[in-house]
Amino acid sequence: MAGRRKFGAVGVACPLLVTSRDGELLILQPWAIETSGLTKAFGDFCAVKDVTLRVRRGAIHALIGPNGAGKTTLFNLLTRFLPPTAGTIVINGQDVTTLAPAEIARRGVARSFQISSVFPHLTAHENVRVALQRDLKTFYQFWRSDRSLAVLDARADALLESVGITAFAQTRAADLPYGRKRALEIATTLALDPSILLLDEPMAGLGMEDIEKISDLVVSVAQGRTVLMVEHNLRVVARLCSTITVLQRGEILVEGAYDDVSRNPAVIEAYMGQGHA
Ligand SMILES: Nc1ncnc2c1ncn2[C@@H]1O[C@H](COP(=O)(O)OP(=O)(O)OP(=O)(O)O)[C@@H](O)[C@H]1O
Ligand SMILES: [Mg+2]
C-alpha cells in the first residue's frame, strides 16, 4: 500500500511525505479522518452535536464517554450507516459526506459492531469467507473457478492466523470462547484490508486475560492502519491510544493525550466519576 510506509514528517499539522511503490514522492494529508461540525438529530434530540474530530493517520485514537454520549452514532455517521443532519466527513483527504456505505468501505474504512456481528452457526473459517465475499470482485471470482475458491480459502486461513485463532477454524462461532469470538469479529473487519478500522468496544464483556490478548491484537492489526476505537476500559485506553476524544451528550468535551485528559476536572466529573475506570 502506497500510503502506509511513512517516509518522513514535515511538521505536526503539515502533510506527510511518503514514497509510493515505485519510489515516487507523494504528499498525504496527516489526517485519516476529519469531521467538521458533524451533527445527527433524531427529531428534537441531538445525538451528535457539532463534532469536529481529526484522527491522525497511523494512530490508535480512543473515543470515550458515558453511555448514550453518541459514540456509536458517530461511528454510524462515519460509515454512512446514518446520514448526518449537518457537517462534513473527510476520509484520507476526500469528502465522503454524501457517499453510500459501500463506497466508504471501498475507500478503506471498516468497522466492528458493539453487538456481536458474526454468524453464530457458521464456523470461524466460514465467517471470514463470507466477509471476504463481501468484496464483489472476489465474489464473482469465487463462482468462476476452483482456483478462486482455493485463493479464498487461503485468504481466510491467513486472516484467522493473523488474529491467532487458526486452531478454532472449524469451530462454530457460537461455540467459540468469548475472547476468540472477539478476535473473529476483528478478522471479519480485516477482510477487505481496510486502512481505517473503527472498533466499537472491542473489549466489552471480556475478562482480564482476554483483554490483554485483544489489546495485543489491536496493536498488531493497527500496524500500517489507523484505528479509532470506542473503549470504556481506561487502562486499555492509556496503554494503546495516543489521543483520546471524550464525548459527552453528543459534543466533544475534551481531547488530548491520556495524562492530560484523565486529569481534566470536567472529564473526571462526566466520565471517570461514574466508576468506569
Ligand atoms: N436511531 C435512533 N433513533 C433515536 N435515538 C437514537 C437512535 N440511535 C441512537 N439514539 C440515541 O442517541 C443517543 C446516543 O446513542 P449512542 O448509541 O450513539 O451512544 P453511545 O455513546 O454509543 O452509548 P453506549 O456507551 O451505551 O454504547 C442515545 O440517547 C440513544 O438513545
Ligand atoms: Mg455505543
**For 60, what's the count of Cα atoms within 13 Å in the CB-facing half-sphere?**
21
Q: What are the DSSP calls for 19-67, one per residue?
A: E-TTS-EEEE-SEEEEEEEEEEEETTEEEEEEE--EEETT-EEEEE-ST
Domain membership of residue 140 as a residue range: 59-80+96-274
CB burial readout 86-123, b (16+ within 10 A) else e: ebebbbbeeebbebeeeebbeebbbbbbeebebeeeeb
Which residues line ion ligand 2, judged by CB < 5 Å? 71-72, 114
The per-residue pLDDT for 11 is 36
Q: What are the C-alpha distances in Å from 148 to residues 132, 141, 162, 190?
A: 12, 6, 21, 19
CA distance 176 to 248: 35
Is 35 within a domain?
no
> Ligand 1 atom 1: the closest Cα is on which residue?
42
- Residue 115's pLDDT band, with cuts at 50, 70 and 90, is confident
CB burial readout 230-241, b (16+ within 10 A) else e: bbbbbebbbebb
The average pLDDT across 65-88 equals 96
The answer to whether 206 and 214 are in contact (CB under 8 A) is: yes
CA distance 155 to 129: 8
- What does the DSSP 8-state code read for residue 263? H
Closest ligand to the CA of 76? 1
Is residue 107 scored above 70 in pLDDT?
A: yes
Is 9 within a domain?
no
Is residue 43 scored above 90 in pLDDT?
A: yes
The per-residue pLDDT for 1 is 40
Is 8 within a domain?
no
- Residue 20's pLDDT band, with cuts at 50, 70 and 90, is low
Pocket test for ligand 1, best of 73, 112, 234 (most atoms within 8 A of CB): 73
Q: What are the DSSP calls for 183-202, one per residue?
A: HHHHHHHTTT--SEEEEE-T
Contacts of 197 (CB under 8 A, 6+ apart): 110, 111, 112, 189, 190, 221, 222, 225, 226, 227, 228, 229
Is 144 within a domain?
yes
Looking at the 3D structure of the chain, how many domains does it have? 1
Is 252 within a domain?
yes
Which residues are registered as beta bridge partners of 39? Answer: 86
Is 33 within a domain?
no
E strand spans, the chain = 6-9, 16-19, 25-28, 31-42, 45-51, 54-56, 60-64, 86-91, 94-95, 109-111, 196-200, 226-230, 243-248, 251-256
Q: How far is the CA of 212 from the centre of ligand 1 (A)?
A: 28
Which one-letter amino acid corresponds to residue 226?
T
- Residue 7's pLDDT band, with cuts at 50, 70 and 90, is very low
The per-residue pLDDT for 60 is 97
- Residue 127's pLDDT band, with cuts at 50, 70 and 90, is very high
> Ligand 1 atom 11: the closest Cα is on which residue?
47
Question: Which residue would you say has higher pLDDT here, 85 or 144?
Answer: 85
Pocket test for ligand 1, best of 38, 40, 42 (most atoms within 8 A of CB): 42
| CB-defined site of ligand 1, < 6 Å | 42, 47, 65, 67-73, 114
- Name the average pLDDT for the chain: 86
- Residue 91's pLDDT band, with cuts at 50, 70 and 90, is very high
- Residue 13's pLDDT band, with cuts at 50, 70 and 90, is very low
Is 41 within a domain?
no
The average pLDDT across 165-179 equals 96
Number of Cβ atoms within 10 Å of the Cβ of 73: 22
pLDDT, one tens digit per residue, over 191-248 is 889 999 999 999 988 999 999 999 999 999 999 999 999 998 989 999 999 999 999 9
> Ligand 1 atom 24: the closest Cα is on which residue?
67
The answer to whether 48 and 40 are in contact (CB under 8 A) is: yes
Question: Quick one: which atom of ligand 1 is closest to the CA of 114?
Answer: 27
Is residue 101 scored above 60 in pLDDT?
A: yes
Q: How far is the CA of 269 from the centre of ligand 1 (A)?
A: 21
- Residue 139's pLDDT band, with cuts at 50, 70 and 90, is low
> Ligand 1 atom 18: the closest Cα is on which residue?
70
Is 230 within a domain?
yes
> Ligand 1 atom 27: the closest Cα is on which residue?
67
Q: How far is the CA of 44 from the centre of ligand 1 (A)?
A: 14
Query: For residue 137, what is the domain's CATH number?
Result: 3.40.50.300
